[in-house]
Amino acid sequence: MRSLSILGSTGSIGLSTLDVVRQHPGKFSISGLAAGKDVVTLAEQIREFQPTAVSVMDAVTALKLRALLGDCKPEILYGIEGAVAVATVEEADMVVSAIVGAAGLIPTVSAIKAGKHIALANKETLVVAGELVSDLVKKHKVELLPVDSEHSAIFQSLQGHRKEDVVRIILTASGGPFRNTSAEELKQVGLQQALKHPQWTMGAKITIDSATMMNKGLEVIEAHWLFAMPVEKIGVVVHPQSIIHSMVEYIDGCVMAQLGAPDMRAPIAYALSWPERCESGIKRLDLTKIGTLTFEEPDMERFPALRLAFEALKAGRTYPAILNAANEVAVAAFLDQKIRFTEIAETVDKTMQAHKAYTPVELDDYLQADQWARETALKLIA
């Protein structure tokens, strides 16, 4: 039986992960759960799965959770220290890293150092500190398995093939809700419009990232570190139906693709049970009902966030960390309706232009770059 700790248990990935676990009581158990402020959902999860370690965002939330749990009271921690404790709890042999944003970096690094295998849904961990994390994975001899549907598709399409035979990996993108929206119309996009994704059900931050196509840009950087592929071998294609999750092209002209319904339980189940497979509970794919699959080149003029991500990856050093932190601040400002939709990418661009890059070595170097970018982006927005 594989024992799991879940970082971000009340988010969309966490809920889907627990649904997979629920289907296989003899295969998986839960040792730890870390969440933010949704104590009602977390309390239900604790009662059902009986973890030994639990963490929430802050002390006030911890008090609320204790009041809800009554006699069922595991150890309740909070803050970054609490998330680290859940990530390193002794009983767990795998950590599902699904905290949104750079906040997932420290607990994920701690889990790797503790020898835990990682099912990675928190792409920002590799965007911010890809080289550091990759080195730690090798040093501590743990598995780093992708949960994002696109990276899971690439991982599956690489199985049984030689890396030196790869011409390029191709990430698919839905195009988001504004695929056919003009540049002028994008300036007038409202919050509720941006939160309506045509294919996937996700949290607010990731949904906005999908609408700007920054999410795809972050995935490009993540793919670079996951698969040790140079930026020249990473491509993006818009695929509105979201049936082909990504592809790998080989030197003989063959392209391997992984298809499936747009449901995160499939890549989660694959990461949890690899190298085996297990039932995920997703709807079976009926190609006769889908009919047509279409593909387009991404428009990096209308969606400059994707271009900025490619530029950050090519420039390297601290630029990816700057890109991510500035984007997190800008998206939060848009969600608070303080800036326009198009100002998200503008804020990221200006923050990157203001940055004097350096080569990070220690975790603190990455964290300092992250903090500088947040402060700079906030000043730009103000």
Last residue of a domain, one of 119, 146, 173: 146
Q: What is the pLDDT of residue 258?
A: 98
Chain segment 270-295, per-residue pLDDT in tens: 999 999 999 999 999 999 999 999 99
Name the strand (E) or helix (H) holding 226.
helix 214-227
Domain membership of residue 237 as a residue range: 151-263+294-311
- Chain-wide mean pLDDT for the chain? 95
Chain segment 280-339, per-residue pLDDT in tens: 999 999 999 999 999 999 999 999 999 999 999 999 999 999 999 999 999 999 999 999
pLDDT at 247 over 70: yes
CATH number of the domain encompassing residue 349:
1.10.1740.10
Q: What is the mean pLDDT of residues 196-223?
A: 89
- Helix 124-140 / helix 363-381 crossing angle, nearest 10 deg: 180
245 in the same domain as 375: no
108 in the same domain as 13: yes
The amino acid occupying position 317 is R
Chain segment 115-170, per-residue pLDDT in tens: 999 999 999 999 999 999 999 999 999 999 999 999 999 999 999 999 999 999 99
* pTM listed for this prediction: 0.95
How far apart CA 9 and CA 287 sit, in angstroms, is 33
Residues 205, 101 contacting (CB under 8 angstroms)? yes
What is the 3-state composition of the chain as percent helix, strand, coil, each rounded to the nearest 5? 50, 15, 35
Among residues 345, 82, 329, which one has the least CA distance to residue 212? 345
Last residue of a domain, one of 146, 178, 206: 146
Residue 289 domain flag: no
Among residues 335, 114, 108, which one has the least CA distance to residue 222? 108
Residue 229 domain flag: yes
pLDDT at 99 over 70: yes
Confidence of residue 202 (pLDDT cuts 50, 70, 90): confident
Residue with tokens 């701690």: 110
pLDDT at 70 over 90: no
CATH number of the domain encompassing residue 72:
3.40.50.720
Long-range contacts of 288-295 (CB under 8 A, 24+ apart): 290/241, 290/243, 292/241, 293/239, 293/241, 293/243, 293/244, 294/239, 294/240, 294/241, 295/237, 295/238, 295/239
Quickly list H helices, 24-92. 39-49, 59-69, 79-87
Residue 257 domain flag: yes
Distances (CA, A) of 90 to 31, 93, 171, 272, 320: 8, 8, 36, 18, 33
40 in the same domain as 187: no
pLDDT at 63 over 80: yes
The amino acid occupying position 277 is R
Strand order across the beta sheet in which 255-259 lies: 234-238, 166-173, 244-250, 255-259
Confidence of residue 23 (pLDDT cuts 50, 70, 90): very high
Number of domains in the chain: 3
Residues 5, 96 contacting (CB under 8 angstroms)? yes
